[in-house]
Amino acid sequence: MKRNETLRPLLKVAVPVMLANGAETIYNLTDSWFLGRLGSREISAPTIAFNLIMLIILGGLGISAAGTTLISRAVGQKDQKKAEFFLGQVCSLLLLASLLLAAAGWLLAGPFLRAIQTPPDLFELTADYIRIICLGIPFMYGFFALQSAMEGTGNTMAALRIQLLATAVNIPLDAVLIFGAGSIPSLGVKGAALATVLSRGVAAVSAYVILFRGRQGIRLHVANLPFKPSVLRLLLKVAIPSSLSHMASSLGFIVLQGLVNSFGTAVIAAFGIVNRIHSLFYMPAQGMARGTASLVGQSLGAGDPSRAGKVVKTGVFLALIYIIPGMIFCFFYGSQFIRFFINDPAVIDEGSLLFRIISPSVIVFTVFLILAGAFQGAGDTRSLMMMHLGRLWVFRLPFAWLLAFPLGWGTQGIWYAMVFSNVVITAIGIFRFRSEGWVHALKEV
């Protein structure tokens, strides 16, 4: 099978996912741009909150990704009834998880901020932001249900339309609620959080309307919502390692954020802006990874592992075409990105340094993102969990602490530890892919 035989199907699934990721990134960058107009304190609060929020989000993404794996397998087997039953189970699990994690996030906001050494002048501002965002977690998980269904069937345009709608709602709400308008008071950081919750509510309602109507190739039936023990066990077998790996990785980023916080507000702001810019350039790779997961699942469901391997190689090729020029631009002109958000010399200097150190390793890590999509689509989530844990807890955090503090490298020690962890985990991922053990990880579907 030649590459062009996998190119069109992969692009059909991945391009709408890329665009949806781009809309999500614009969603986040809009908050940063508006809050940057208020100052480094306001832009730093969401940066600190981001790691706890991501911990909660990734729990849902793990369940959604497990749903994509099972639904795509059923689609590959041409079993529509099974695919729709998996969808119902995924929706119920997402709803239950969203309520539990939203409550946990609300209650743990204060202890979390104290644990990561949040500066006193940012504490209450960040706590308020987290608690408001937690109110919208069930909405966010509702949209994850649509993503799971659409990526599993290979029809990702519906999720893109909903994401574009949410972004279109979020931008004007940001402006009004952050700065105020007429009788609406200026809410600053709280306004940014409230705008996010409201726009995600619009997305969730729209997502469930699409799923219950069933006009996009798969329908959500009320009869499929009650848990069936055997299917729930299968779903959890795939979802738990995926969710735990993402959540443990996110917890690792929280610890990393604590190390960054010890260097002050300017470094916090620079770290947050660079991460958001890199997330923009990661967008195609993440889209390719999720498209790869969908097509790998369908290929293995149809009993065609050779096609699954070709999909992975095509995904790597396409992702690198985009990420390489993007990271070259960040390496040489990163200061311009920083200046767009905030004109603070200390933030610009630190952010430019971070861009120069980390950008080459982003290219390497992009390969791992595609491989991770393949492992997810194959249901090889235990191996993937070990790789995610190793990246943060074995290779990044110990070296970041050692280089930054005992060896006295300061912030550069953290940045170089990020490079090291990206390179090592990608090498491990390539070894796992070549072993082909991932192809046989899930035999029950």
Output the DSSP codes for 424-445: HHHHHHHHHHHH-GGGGS----
In a domain, 289, yes or no: yes
Q: How confident is the model at residue 444 (pLDDT cuts 50, 70, 90)?
A: low
321-352 tens-digit pLDDT = 989 999 999 999 888 888 888 888 899 999 99
The more confidently predicted of residues 381 and 25 is 381
Question: In this structure, is residue 419 part of a structural domain?
Answer: yes
CA–CA dist 80, 68 (Å, integer): 14
Q: Is residue 80 in a domain?
A: yes
- Residue tagged 């020690």 (tokens): 413
Helix 345-378 / helix 40-76 crossing angle, nearest 10 deg? 10
Question: Is residue 284, in this structure, part of any structural domain at all?
Answer: yes
Average pLDDT of the segment spanning 229-250: 86
Q: How many residues does the chain have?
A: 445
Q: What is the pLDDT of residues 64-95, one digit of tens each?
A: 999 999 999 999 999 999 999 999 999 999 99
Dihedral sign of CA atoms 317, 289, 413, 341 in order? positive
pLDDT of residue 67: 93
Question: Amino acid letter at 56?
Answer: I
- pLDDT at residue number 1: 46
Most confident range (mean pLDDT) of 43-47, 117-121, 274-278, 419-423 is 419-423
Contact yes or no for 400/256 (Cβ under 8 A): yes
Q: List, in sequence order, every residue forming a beta bridge with 188; answer none if it has no partner.
A: none
Distance CA 302, CA 295 (A): 10
Among 18-27, 81-90, 265-274, 380-389, name the one with the lowest average pLDDT.
18-27
Per the structure block, which two tokens stand in for 377? 């689509």
pLDDT at 319 over 90: yes
Dihedrals phi, psi of 305, to nearest 5 degrees: -65, -25
What percentage of the chain reaches a pLDDT higher than 70?
99
Number of Cβ within 10 Å of residue 109's Cβ equals: 21
Would you say 167 and 26 are in contact if contact means Cβ atoms under 8 Å apart? Answer: yes
Domain assignment present for 278? yes
Q: Residue 259: is its pLDDT beyond 50?
A: yes
The mean of the pLDDT values for the chain is 89
Report the DSSP beta bridge partners of residue 241: none
- Report yes or no on 300 lying in a domain: yes
What is the average per-residue pLDDT within 215-223? Answer: 92
Locate 399 and state its tokens.
Answer: 């070296």
Range in 45-49, 97-101, 124-128 the model is least confident about = 45-49
Asked whether residue 225 is assigned to any structural domain, the reply reads: yes
What tokens were used for 276? 């958001």
User: CA-CA distances (angstroms) from residue 422 to 249, 366, 369?
Assistant: 13, 9, 10
Residue numbers of the domain that contains 127? 3-440
Retrieve residue 151's tokens.
């990526």
- Whole-angstrom Cα distance, residue 338 to residue 351? 7
What is the residue whose two structure tokens read 């695919």?
83
Identify whether the C-beta of residue 109 lies closer than 8 Å to the C-beta of residue 131. Answer: yes
Question: Among 7-11, 21-25, 277-281, 394-398, which range has the highest average pLDDT?
Answer: 394-398
The region, left, alpha or beta by phi > 0 then psi within -120 to 50, assigned to residue 248 is alpha
User: DSSP secondary-structure letter at 217?
Assistant: S
Q: What is the mean pLDDT of residues 388-405?
A: 95
pLDDT higher than threshold 80 for residue 400: yes
Write the CA distances from 145 to 89, 140, 210, 330, 392, integer angstroms. 10, 9, 11, 34, 28
CB burial of residue 222 (10 Å; 0-12, 13-18, 19+): exposed
Q: Is residue 445 part of a domain?
A: no
Query: pTM of the full predicted structure?
Result: 0.82
State mean pLDDT over 4-19: 84
- Whether residue 4 is predicted with pLDDT greater than 70 in this model: the reply is no
d(CA 378, CA 441): 7
Beta-bridged to residue 184, according to DSSP, are: 181
How far, in Å, CA of 325 to CA of 61, rounded? 29
Domains identified in the chain, total number: 1
At 291, the amino acid letter reads G
Taking only the tens place, the pLDDT of each residue in 150-201 is 999 988 898 899 989 998 999 899 889 988 887 888 888 899 899 999 999 9
Do 284 and 322 meet the contact criterion of CB atoms below 8 Å apart?
A: yes
